[in-house]
């Protein structure tokens, strides 16, 4: 049987529950009764899987490919603009497709193998 690690941290004893710890989203909901039924939607949640994959593709291209292209531009005394922009756009498309493929595979894998998840990952609330 797994051990409950959720109440062992010192900050659980000291930090007030109203304050969010680093990495946690804090949602201030309205206090009146009519607003309790309104679901909370986060801005990135509206993008969906396709939008998130495009965002990942853009970030990967500008973090990994763009500096290499910039150094190639500086050290090789310039490369043609068509090559520069086609490599950058192709890397965005490639990273987007890879992010979509990996996410789709992982969703399918864990939907088929949810019963193999350890008790440590998702303990029952009473433990």
Which pLDDT value is given to residue 48?
Answer: 83
Sequence ranges of the domains in the chain = 10-116
Please give the pLDDT value at position 76: 84
This prediction has a pTM of 0.58
Specify the pLDDT at position 15. 52
pLDDT tens digits along 91-117: 999 999 999 999 999 988 888 887 777
Secondary structure of 41-60 in HEC code, one letter for each residue: CCHHHHHHHHHHHHHHHHHH
Give the tokens for residue 81: 């603009």
CA–CA separation, 122 vs 5, rounded Å?
11
pLDDT at residue number 1: 47
Which residues of the chain have a pLDDT value below 50?
A: 1, 16, 18-21, 33
């Amino acid at each position: 049987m797994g051990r409950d690690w959720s109440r062992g941290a010192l900050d659980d004893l000291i930090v007030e529950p109203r304050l969010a710890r680093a990495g946690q989203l804090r949602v201030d909901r309205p206090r009146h009764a009519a607003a309790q039924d309104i679901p909370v939607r986060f801005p990135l949640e509206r993008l969906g899987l396709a939008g998130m994959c495009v965002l990942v593709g853009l970030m990967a291209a500008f973090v990994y490919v763009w500096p290499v292209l910039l150094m190639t531009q500086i050290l090789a005394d310039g490369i043609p603009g068509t090559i520069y922009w086609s490599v950058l756009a192709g890397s965005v498309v490639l990273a987007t497709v890879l992010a979509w493929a990996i996410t789709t595979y992982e969703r399918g894998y864990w939907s088929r193998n949810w019963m193999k998840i350890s008790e440590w990952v998702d303990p029952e609330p009473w433990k």
